[in-house]
Structure 1
Amino acid sequence: MAIFSQMQFIERMPPEQQNRLQMRQIERVLRFAHETVPFYRESLDGIKCIPDGEMDEAFFSSLPLLTRSEIQSAGLELRATRTPPEHGPVYLQRTSGSTGKPIEVATTSLRAVMSHAHTLRTQYWNRFDVTQKSVEIRTAYKPGAEPKNRVWSVLPWSGPSKRLDINLPISELFDQFINEAPSSVLSHPYTLMLLAERSRETGIQPSHLTTVRSFAEMVTPNIRQTLREVWNVPVIDSYSATEIGIIAHQCPENETLHVQPENVRVEVLDDNGNQCKPGTSGRVVLTPLQNFASPLIRYEIGDYAEVGESCSCGRTLPVLSRILGRHRNLCVLKNGERFFPEIQADLKSFGHLRQFQAYQKTLEDIDLKIVATRPFTQTEKSEVQAIVQKKFHYPFRVNIIEVDDIPRAANGKFEEFKSDIPEAKIDG
């Protein structure tokens, strides 16, 4: 609770003061990494020439970016030879590998303490009734591994939490969800939308539901609209990563995201490596501030985000307007233009369409898998092709493939658009 109290003070602190505190903590991370992490001994050698407490943003911004491939290649070279005793035991975190490049980093018990504090912050912001039951829909525990008497808040009066398997068929998952009758649900946005659509089809509503929380995927305007229409609840989103922890929480007064500066330094960089201005988007680069076991300094995580203006809520925390997706979710045109396509809302007019996924094979071809309650007519296929061409700003050859199901990834995530265009081809 002491950390949470400090966080309440920080979130109203002038941004310049927040930034100074962050830079002090980053300096501690850099000096510790230089002393104890073999990977950084050369790249951080310049820190020796800087007097204590005088490291500035210019030095920090001059440091090289860290990629997922480098983390994989570095292996144990990226782990500290010792950690501060007060940070607690060291344990490993492994990402799901949805990018095709799973990574493993070491962290300490301090990470869990900070995670609890940041979870408490969003519960407080949104006035969640944590005495009620919560359901998490995510990757299932291994048999016999689910903890007993799980709760969803660190508060002593927290209600129980139950985990459901996100990879179940949606009809079975929906039945379990309804039977649990939770007050709160946490899952990936796409899964939440499928459950809401199932509610619409069956006429069965989650009778006690007051809170919907999302993570791991982009929340589109169409998903928010569907959940409001069907369940009459807003979506409270968060942005996190296995190797980092909490990155940002949705503002309680609007749909933007507040960066959690006590936990992570967030940079959003344009193609020239400069910090993006509000209203523009770029690559997300992260530096966790509390992980001394495997310091990730200027880690290019692979996400894209849009920087937001200062928030009208009065909190002075940095703002991200939205998370756009990963590099593989960018559509690429022949002229080099790249953008994140969104056709979900446009395809809603086809009432028999249940699921779709678009895949860019080449600079000329898009495969569009669709799941529907009846076959699409040739006229409907032509209409869909025209929608894709209009929204994708190019007369792609759109190959419509009707299938019975489009499975999610093993980690439960679902991507409505993926591109197979190599980065080198994009740049050239």
Structure 2
Amino acid sequence: MEWFRLSLQLNNFPINRAEILLRQIQEIPENEYQGYVYGQRDSILKFHRENNSFYRQYCKAENCQKWSDVPVMKKSHLQQPLQNRLSNGFNNRKKTYVGKTSGSSGHPFIFAKDRFAHALSWAGFNDRYKWHGIDLNKSLQARFYGIPLDFYGNFQERVKDRISLRRRFNIFDLSDKKMEQFLKRFERSPFEYINGYTSAILMFARFLQGQNLVLKEICPTLKICIVTSERLFENDKMLMEQALGVPVVNEYGASEVGLIAFENASNEWILNSEDLYVEILDEENNILPAGREGRVVVTSLYNKAHPMIRYDIGDTGVLSEEGTLKRPKLQKLIGRTNDIAHLADGKVVPGLTFYYVTKTIIADTGSIKEFIIIQTALDAFKIEYVSDKEFTAGQVEKILAAIEKYVGKNLQVTFIRKAILKRSKSGKLKQFTSLI
């Protein structure tokens, strides 16, 4: 049974049609590829100008005579009710996939993709995973992610995991006791690959190293480890590969646009050129040549439900001079990193756990612009945020309840509303920082 394909079909995502188109795109010769990319790029721009009132106001025709004139979209531009941003004909939820960004960059918002564009994204993921002998229809995944703890959300994710051949390793608690439980699951299950947050898998690798264990020897079916959402440093990669006993590869993506780049067996980051158009821009929005460091800007070539055109993803990167338009390579990525929270009771929590906390305050209003969370002591945190108005007592109560559920009890939380939040030298806003 092809569970991955079946799950998409049952949810009305046309995966068969998406896979056919993906193969057709990949068969386009290199000398014809510029015509494909530029043609599809101009086509999606024309579609949204004609069918999306939000984008028509944003990108006025008289100001966008050539591609370099098309304005760059930032996450702050999308922090308004989703209904205002949908294209004609896509107001019906049956025609769209709606999701929330993680807020790991500090800019949460709700987005939409039409069902074909979403299916095309998944076709791309499956194609890349096959580079490493992984088939989403058949391969069992050890999934190092968080999970909603409310009954409905938890049940929904468990069902998705079962259908999608994923077994969840809850990363809200990464104590040694939990690591021992993880190890026992690997002993009895034929996992083919690990997928999840870099920091959580790294902590598991350090646990294995401390026990003088190699995971591949315990779980012989294991082939690969795929890390995502956080930056992977080279020395950490070496440690993980030694402890896990399998190659570790980078996946770079964003929920609102899908897969951006994936690492092949030659340690090259191959950019997704089939359904995305990726540019590197300077601070004045000028297009930079390969070899120059700048902002990663992405255009979704097939998403008709919602414009993602020249969208600033919030990261900094460098294109390789060895790449081509059909096979572009990412030479360097300055991505998101997250600290680890250590609590007074010995519990260890990855910084990305706070994604599940911040989900409780991401409302489809656009009122909350930015936020960061800082740990100041073993039992103390402060949440700094930019918003149109102070948090209400009800919002504070929801956040405190979420922190107690996902992080721990008896924690002191201070809320500070600010006009602007402090950024790093690169301009990034780090969602979680520990000062202890």
Aligned twin of 1:411 = 355
CA distance in 1, matches of 2:75, 2:34: 26
Aligned twin of 1:135 = 142
Q: CA deviation at 1:176?
A: 3.6
Count of residues paired in the alignment = 337
The match for 2:111 among 91, 100, 105 is: 105
Aligned twin of 2:179 = 174
Q: CA deviation at 1:268?
A: 0.8
CA distance in 1, matches of 2:373, 2:249: 20
For residues 55-105 of structure 1, the C-alpha deviation after alignment (integer angstroms, 9 at most, x for no partner) is xxx7112111111111104743321121499x9721311112223321111
Deviates more, 1:11-20 or 1:32-41: 11-20
CA distance in 1, matches of 2:91, 2:37: 19
Counting only pairs closer than 5 Å after superposition, residues 10-409 of structure 1 correspond to structure 2 as 10-11=25-26, 13-15=28-30, 17-46=32-61, 59-73=66-80, 75-83=82-90, 89-128=95-134, 131-141=138-148, 142-145=153-156, 146-147=158-159, 150-152=162-164, 160-181=165-186, 182-206=191-215, 207-208=218-219, 209-254=222-267, 256-310=268-322, 316-325=326-335, 357=339, 407-409=350-352
CA separation of 1:302/1:370 partners in 2, compared to 1, >3 Å: closer, same or farther? closer
Report which of the two structures shows the higher radius of gyration computed on alpha carbons: 1
CA separation of 1:25/1:74 partners in 2, compared to 1, >3 Å: closer, same or farther? farther
CA distance in 1, matches of 2:176, 2:182: 10
Q: CA deviation at 1:192?
A: 1.4
Q: Over aligned residues, Cα RMSD in angstroms?
A: 3.8
CA contact (8 A) 1:304 1:323 kept: yes
CA separation of 1:176/1:75 partners in 2, compared to 1, >3 Å: closer, same or farther? same
For residues 26-67 of structure 1, the C-alpha deviation after alignment (integer angstroms, 9 at most, x for no partner) is 222122211221122244442899xxxxxxxx7112111111
For residues 233-260 of structure 1, the C-alpha deviation after alignment (integer angstroms, 9 at most, x for no partner) is 2112111101111111112322x21111
Deviates more, 1:294-303 or 1:68-77: 68-77
Q: CA deviation at 1:323?
A: 1.7
CA separation of 1:303/1:80 partners in 2, compared to 1, >3 Å: closer, same or farther? same
CA distance in 2, matches of 1:44, 1:315: 26
Instruction: Supply the AA of the counterpart residue of 2:194.
Output: V
Percent identical residues: 22
Q: CA deviation at 1:151?
A: 4.9
For residues 235-291 of structure 1, the C-alpha deviation after alignment (integer angstroms, 9 at most, x for no partner) is 12111101111111112322x211112221111112342223333211011111121
CA contact (8 A) 1:268 1:276 kept: yes
CA separation of 1:252/1:190 partners in 2, compared to 1, >3 Å: closer, same or farther? same
* Higher RCO, 1 vs 2 (CA within 8 Å, ≥6 residues apart): 2
CA separation of 1:228/1:423 partners in 2, compared to 1, >3 Å: closer, same or farther? closer
CA separation of 1:84/1:68 partners in 2, compared to 1, >3 Å: closer, same or farther? closer
CA separation of 1:148/1:118 partners in 2, compared to 1, >3 Å: closer, same or farther? closer
CA distance in 1, matches of 2:27, 2:373: 36
For residues 128-167 of structure 1, the C-alpha deviation after alignment (integer angstroms, 9 at most, x for no partner) is 3664422111121433222167355xxxxxxx32122222
Aligned twin of 2:10 = none
CA distance in 1, matches of 2:424, 2:127: 38
Instruction: Supply the AA of the counterpart residue of 1:162.
Output: R
CA separation of 1:302/1:26 partners in 2, compared to 1, >3 Å: closer, same or farther? same
Instruction: Supply the AA of the counterpart residue of 1:319.
Output: K
CA contact (8 A) 1:4 1:120 kept: no
Q: Write 1 or 2 for the structure with the bigger share of helix.
A: 2
Aligned partner of residue 411 in structure 1, secondary structure: helix
CA separation of 1:187/1:370 partners in 2, compared to 1, >3 Å: closer, same or farther? closer
Instruction: Give the TM-score taking structure 1 as reference length.
Output: 0.68
CA distance in 2, matches of 1:193, 1:109: 34
Instruction: Supply the AA of the counterpart residue of 2:207.
Output: R
Instruction: Supply the AA of the counterpart residue of 1:100.
Output: G
CA contact (8 A) 1:165 1:173 kept: no
Aligned partner of residue 143 in structure 1, secondary structure: helix
Consecutive unaligned residues of structure 1, counting only runs of 5 or more, are 50-57, 153-159, 330-355, 358-368, 372-402
CA distance in 2, matches of 1:211, 1:291: 31
CA distance in 2, matches of 1:34, 1:275: 22
For residues 372-421 of structure 1, the C-alpha deviation after alignment (integer angstroms, 9 at most, x for no partner) is xxxxxxxxxxxxxxxxxxxxxxxxxxxxxxx98565232389999xxx64
Deviating 4+ runs (over 6 angstroms) = 412-416, 423-426
